[in-house]
Amino acid sequence: MKEVRSAAPWSIGLLGGGIAGLALAALLGERGHAVTVYERDRVGGKLRRITVGGLAFDTGPSLFTFPEVWRALLARLGEPDPLDLRPLPGGLGVHHTPFGAAPLPVPPGHPLHPAWEAYRAPARPLAGHLTTLLTTPPRLSDPTFRRGSAALFRATGGQPTAEGWVRARRLPPALTHAVGTHALNAGLTPQDAPALYALIPALAADAVFRPARGMGALLDALLAFAAARGVQVEEGAEVARVDPRTARLTLSGGEERRHDLLVSALDPARLAGVLGRPVRSPVARRTVSGVALYAALPGDAGLPPTSVLPPADFARFRAAVRAGALPPDTLALVHADGPRLAVLLTAPATARDLRPEHPWVRAQVGRVERTLGVPGLLASARDVLALPPRHYAAGGHPGGAIYGAALPAWRGGPLHPQPYRPRPRLWQVGTGVHPGGGLPAILGGALIVDTLLGESGV
């Protein structure tokens, strides 16, 4: 569809100053609109700068994948890349499966290398199409989207779930387990995630990055792009009520603001709350939450940048998180960077205040330390900060589900149109509306919504 440029700037109220909200604010500012971002807390959402034991940490995302999506955003803004993305040694990291360790990517000479090559062969033709799928509105009338979705269908061979796709490949068990783990990075087990997730290691393992100045550089860049386009950012401004007919909103202090249009970059369940609608989110229908531990160590732990400890049994893990119970062994991601250590433990989305001294957290940390051969590592830390499910629930989905509601496999991924525009004067962007997990999905989602807004005359 041809884009219709608006003649006059619109006053747009953007709810939520996470990465999705800021990215879309910059894009709308680029079109000349007057944008105000309302953020209940500090900007950045799940990605924020904290200090632990005198060391700076960036919370939330640690792996920057599919950088072409970021480059597509830069191209639309006409900006050079300020991030200085550096490849992360070891890619997606060593996966300590019950069947042995599997580094992803598997390097030549490793016994799993031939199986790794066989595994990723069907994904190769998809590589060139993934950016299109992540950044283009899903419409069969669009030939580029049609080509991309056809490539995805060919690569997934009609398997609906990640588990089904991996099983059909008949890979060695260590590789099957390691690949299946990546479905969990989008908050769903391999039994529940679309088949595309089983292809993510094949598509991303060789190209995992981090900005030279840490992930916080992404937040800085988006804030700078937004400021240069006149975007007003209000922190500590919680939106309590929204009237989508008049595009009027009320802040929690009672102050009213009027706009021509509203865009929510909140989790859809939170948006339902401010619209005065009942919020339905049974725990079995949520993606997972987590306990993120940020530790300032006395020195370099000597660990690889990324280590992954999957649950030993995905079926048992699934049963636990769907029942809201703590799984006996959970997915643990360990990121080490000199004296900085981040241990991310997957937990059910029940808004629990799980602290480092909680017996379950201690047991999971013990498992990490035993597996990586670093006993007492966390106890040696000068300081540890924990962000539990309760933290993620405060600004996100009920229970602290990191990726919002768990959609059925056929609705997840980039093929299904999402509720971009639930009301004529209310649009949506962000994790809960662009399923797929992390930054590529939400940055691509911001581009999709910007395209659709442009086509609608905004």
Ligand X SMILES: Cc1cc2nc3c(=O)[nH]c(=O)nc-3n(C[C@H](O)[C@H](O)[C@H](O)COP(=O)(O)OP(=O)(O)OC[C@H]3O[C@@H](n4cnc5c(N)ncnc54)[C@H](O)[C@@H]3O)c2cc1C
Name the site residues for ligand X (rule: CB under 6 A): 15-21, 38-41, 45-47, 60-63, 238-239, 265-266, 270, 274, 290, 292, 344, 395-396, 402, 430-431, 438-439, 442
Beta carbon nearer to ligand X, 344 or 452: 344
325, 112 Cβ separation under 8 angstroms? no
Nearer to ligand X, 45 or 103 (CB): 45
Nearest distance from C-beta of residue 252 to ligand X, angstroms: 8
Residue 224 beta carbon to ligand X: minimum distance, rounded to whole angstroms: 17
Q: Distance (Å, rounded) from C-alpha 411 to C-alpha 253?
A: 38
Whether the bond into 190 is cis, omega within 30 of 0: no
Q: What are the two backbone dihedrals, phi and then psi, of residue 151, each rounded to the nearest 5 degrees? A: -65, -40
Contacts of 150 (CB under 8 A, 6+ apart): none
Give whichever of 292 and 452 is closer to ligand X, judged by the CB atom.
292
Q: How many CB atoms lie within 10 A of CB 358?
A: 16
Extended strands (E) in 301-417: 306-309, 332-337, 340-347, 383-387
Structure tokens at 262: 């509203």
Instruction: Please tell me the distance from the alpha carbon of residue 407 to that of residue 188, in angstroms, as a whole number.
Output: 9
Half-sphere exposure of 355 (CA within 13 A, CB side): 2
CB 48 within 8 A of CB 219: yes
Tell me, what DSSP letter sits at residue 349? S
- Give the bridge partners for 209, in sequence order: 64, 87
Output 238 or 260, the one with its CB closest to ligand X: 238
* Helices 173-184 & 162-169 angle (0-180, nearest 10): 160
Closest CB 216 distance from ligand X, rounded Å: 12
Residues 67 and 84: their CA atoms lie apart, in Å, by 11
Pairing of strands 261-264, 11-15: parallel
Q: Which is nearer to ligand X, 127 or 274 (CB)?
A: 274
Q: Which is nearer to ligand X, 281 or 431 (CB)?
A: 431
The helix (H) or strand (E) run that includes residue 152 is helix 143-156
Give min distance, CB of 60 to ligand X, in A: 4
Q: Which is nearer to ligand X, 19 or 449 (CB)?
A: 19
Closer to ligand X by Cβ: residue 178 or 274: 274
Residue labelled with tokens 């069969």: 140
- The residue among 20 and 115 lying less far from ligand X, judged by its C-beta, is 20
Query: Mind giving me the DSSP string for 70-123?
Result: HHHHHHHHT----S-EEEPTTTTEEEEETTEEEEESPPTTSTTHHHHHHHHGGG
Q: How far is the CB of 344 from ligand X (least distance, A)?
A: 5
Taking the complex as a whole, the smallest distance from the CB of residue 182 to ligand X amounts, in Å, to 11
Decide: residue 280, CB within 10 A, 0-12 exposed, 13-18 middle, 19+ buried. Answer: exposed
Q: How far is the CB of 146 from ligand X (least distance, A)?
A: 27
Distance in Å, CB of 153 to ligand X, minimum: 25
| Residue nearer to ligand X on the CB measure, 28 or 239 | 239
